[in-house]
């Protein structure tokens, strides 16, 4: 009789353990997908500044304050997602947009001010 009860309890515990593992795995997958979805919707920040340096991979800009980030005016280096437009030069005033990524800040739009 004891062995029957022991087997029954062992079976119930095995089923409950398997259910808990499945629930955790499903929850993990859901959270993982949500993290990827959020990462794809990175906030785009807009600013104005003056180009201080241009390299094939980056541009340094002395930008005005960026209230959305509580940033004061400063000079920063931004990664380029593609080559900077050839008509841009050091000292030129620009409007630009950027996003934050795992490596820092990346320019998504860079145009001369009119």
Identify the CATH number of the domain in which residue 56 sits. 2.40.50.320
Judge whether 3 lies within some domain: no
Please tell me the predicted confidence (pLDDT) of residue 85.
Answer: 76
Helix (H) or strand (E) holding 99: strand 93-101
Give me the number of domains the chain comprises.
Answer: 1
Nearest by Cα to 89 from 53, 48, 49, 46: 53
Whole-angstrom CA distances from 55 to 23, 51, 79 are: 50, 11, 9
| pLDDT 10s digits, 46-74 | 999 999 999 999 999 999 999 999 999 99
Check pLDDT > 90 for residue 108: yes
The angle formed by the CA atoms of residues 47, 92 and 98, to the nearest 5 degrees, is: 30
| pLDDT 10s digits, 10-42 | 555 555 555 554 555 555 555 555 445 445 678
Judge whether 80 lies within some domain: yes
- For residue 25, with 0-12 CB atoms within 10 Å meaning exposed, 13-18 middle and 19 or more buried, which class applies? exposed
Judge whether 19 lies within some domain: no
pLDDT band of residue 114 (cuts 50, 70, 90) is confident
């Amino acid at each position: 009789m004891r062995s029957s009860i022991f087997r029954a309890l062992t079976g119930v515990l095995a089923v409950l353990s398997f259910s808990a593992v499945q629930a955790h795995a499903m929850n993990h997958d859901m959270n993982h997908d949500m993290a990827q979805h959020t990462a794809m919707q990175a906030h785009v920040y807009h600013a104005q500044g003056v180009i201080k340096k241009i390299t094939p991979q980056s541009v340094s800009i002395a930008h005005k304050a960026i209230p959305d980030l509580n940033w004061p005016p400063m000079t920063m280096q931004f990664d380029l997602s593609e080559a900077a437009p050839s008509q841009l030069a050091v000292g030129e005033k620009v409007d630009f947009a950027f996003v934050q990524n795992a490596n820092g800040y990346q320019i998504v739009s860079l145009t001369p001010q009119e």
